[in-house]
Amino acid sequence: MCARLSTAQRRLLKEYKELLKDPTEGIVAAPISESNLFNWHCLLVGPPGTPYEHGVFAAKMSFPKDYPLSPPKLKFTSEIFHPNIYKDGTVCISILHPPGNDPMMYESADERWGPLQSIEKILLSVCSMLAEPNPNSPANVDAAKLWREDRELYNKVVRRQVIDSLR
């Protein structure tokens, strides 16, 4: 790798080394290639005690050139049915929203992205989101409606995806 790394590349390399040195159970994340630290593959294991339990869900994380000043984008490549995940797999969670005040005044500034966040914190937040959806701010209206109105059917749909995630 070139000796002249940008601030973002140095930060991403540092976070990657930390993830390798001290891995978090249920989370795997790494750059797709050493020559491009801005695009990562991630695997998340469904949280225990949830309908996502035992699932292994793949995602891609892409980082802006001014990381950590701006948040990355996270998109599941595995099919995943969840109130806070768009149908295309894009994750909608406060920690990934741009820093500053929310123009809709739904989130406080401290819930949104800040440069002290990390890849590990993002992925842990997504695992928490899987366990505890926010149906009041849905990215997937169908999933939020089903989660509120027919939890048994919601869980059945998710468990089917868990089985598919293991194939």
Residues catalogued as catalytic: 92
The Cβ of residue 111 has, within 10 Å, a number of other Cβ atoms equal to 13
3-class DSSP state of 97? coil
Contact by Cβ (8 Å): 71, 90: no
Q: Which long-range contacts (CB under 8 A, 24 or more apart) does 6-14 make?
A: 6/65, 8/37, 8/38, 8/63, 8/64, 8/65, 8/66, 8/67, 8/68, 9/37, 9/38, 11/67, 11/68, 12/37, 12/38, 12/63, 12/67, 13/37
119/1 Cα distance (integer angstroms): 21
89/102 Cα distance (integer angstroms): 23
DSSP assignment, residue 40?
E
